[in-house]
Amino acid sequence: MMARALSSSINGVSDLFGLSRANHLSPSSSSSLRYRPPSAIKMVQTQQTYWATIESDIETHLKKSIPIRHPVSVFDPMHYLTFAAPRTTAPALCIAACEVVGGDRAQAMAAAAAIHLVHAAAFTHKNIPLTDRPRPEPIEHKFNPNIELLTGDGIMPFGLELVAESMSLGLNNPDRVLRVITEISQAAGSRGVVEGQFKEMDISLSEIDVGLIEYVCKKKEGELHSCAAACGAILGGGNEEEIENLRRYGLYAGMVQGILNGVGSKNRKGLQEMVEKLKVLALKEVECFKGNGKFDGILAWFESELCNV
């Protein structure tokens, strides 16, 4: 159910270069499993359960972290806009990466929440009606633009505050937490998601520029997932090789998700080739975790989200 909800997670290019992938999926989650033998179905179901519990834990953590409290005029829109943003799989990947290197879920929870908040802030600002927005999204606005602007501004530092404060729980050492704050700041900022949003403005509706789409997906979904996986590995105590493997896994798999969310079907030849290439690259990065009890977990998203379209 959660995995299905994730299939419609779109944080950017959905409307820019084709139909949304969600439109091409049957509403029944079992449809995506129809070519699998029973044993494979069971494994995928277990993976999906694993993924669903992660998602549920992150949601619980976020609800606890952002209650509707005083001042209500600030926290009501903050709460609303945090949960109005479509899910991305990046926060759950952060947890899965932490666990695959032997860490505990709680160690990566604040970082996973912060990564969702980076995405929620970007999504909120992306949908503010501006005079020079070439393609305004057909989205329902519960709050006025000024409130959405300010709330987005408040969400982002709150995410980093959560990570910094997680130190006080005694779950992580300060060096790891500081490294994660740097990672998230970079991924969120002008060399990451924001750069992707800048470049996204150059994407033309009428003409597919494969190189530009690749770059935008790299900077947006790619960097967010890459950062998420690296942060999880850092907090879980992974060694440098594991951190870099997971960082690249996140990058390639995130890019696949970005492209699929935008492409929706296989009729864009150049993009489909890129997707296949990225899938191979992604799987290569996590081969080293084979035999690890959590290997299925790290693959769960890949299996259910990226390989059934």
> Residue 167, interface with a second copy (CB under 8 A)?
yes
Distance from C-alpha of 295 to C-alpha of 116, rounded to nearest angstrom: 23
Query: Among 185, 226, 245, 257, which residue sits at the site for a second copy (rule: CB under 8 A)?
Result: 185
Query: Would you count residue 30 as binding a second copy (CB under 8 A)?
Result: no
C-beta of 48 vs 185, nearer to a second copy: 185
Among 150, 171, 212, 307, binds a second copy (CB under 8 A): 150
Scanning residues 82 to 101, which ones bind a second copy (CB under 8 A)?
Answer: none
DSSP string, 249-296: HHHHHHHHHHHHHHH-SS--HHHHHHHHHHHHHHHHHHGGGTTSTTHH
Q: Is 190 exposed, middle or buried (0-12, 13-18, 19+ CB in 10 A)?
A: exposed
Work out which of 37, 38, 64, 132 binds a second copy, going by CB under 8 A.
Answer: 132
Q: What's CA 100's distance to the chain center, in Å?
A: 18
Q: Which of 1, 130, 139, 280 binds a second copy (CB under 8 A)?
A: 130
- Smallest separation, CB 127 to a second copy (Å): 11
Using the contact rule CB under 8 A, the part of the chain among 167-175, 224-232, 280-288, 299-307 near a second copy is 167-175
**Rounded CA separation 82/33 (Å):** 32
> Measured from the CB atom, is 27 or 138 closer to a second copy?
138
Nearest distance in Å: CB 82, a second copy: 11
151 in contact with a second copy (CB under 8 A): yes
Q: Are 25 and 309 in contact (CB under 8 A)?
A: yes
Residues 6+ away with beta carbon under 8 Å from 68? 75, 76, 79
Q: Which residue in the set 122, 229, 243, 299 belongs to the binding site for a second copy (CB under 8 A)?
A: 122
171 versus 281: smaller Cβ distance to a second copy: 171
For residue 84, the minimal CB distance to a second copy (Å) is 16
Q: What is the DSSP string of 189-239?
A: TTTTHHHHHHHHTT--SSS--HHHHHHHHIIIIIHHHHHHHHHHHHHTT--
**Structure token digits, residue 61:** 């953590």
Stretch that binds a second copy, among 41-49, 183-191, 225-233, 283-291 (CB under 8 A): 183-191
DSSP annotation of 155: H
Binding segment toward a second copy, per CB under 8 A, in 13-21, 158-166, 241-249, 268-276: 158-166
CA distances from 148 to 126, 152, 162 (A): 10, 6, 21
Instruction: Dig out the tokens for 237 from the structure.
Output: 């105590």
Element (H, E) at 149: helix 145-165
Among 63, 135, 153, 293, binds a second copy (CB under 8 A): 153
Return the residue of 21, 61, 125, 247 that touches a second copy, per CB under 8 A: 125
Sole residue written with tokens 């900077």: 219
Window 6-25: contact mask with a second copy (x via CB under 8 A): --------------------
Helix axes 174-188, 223-235, angle to 10 degrees: 180
Question: Does position 147 bind a second copy by CB under 8 A?
Answer: yes
Looking at 42, 63, 133, 142, which residue binds a second copy (CB under 8 A)? 133
Site for a second copy, rule CB under 8 A:
71, 73-75, 78, 121-122, 125, 128-133, 144-147, 149-158, 160-161, 164-165, 167, 174-175, 177-179, 181-182, 184-186, 188-191, 194-195, 197-199, 201
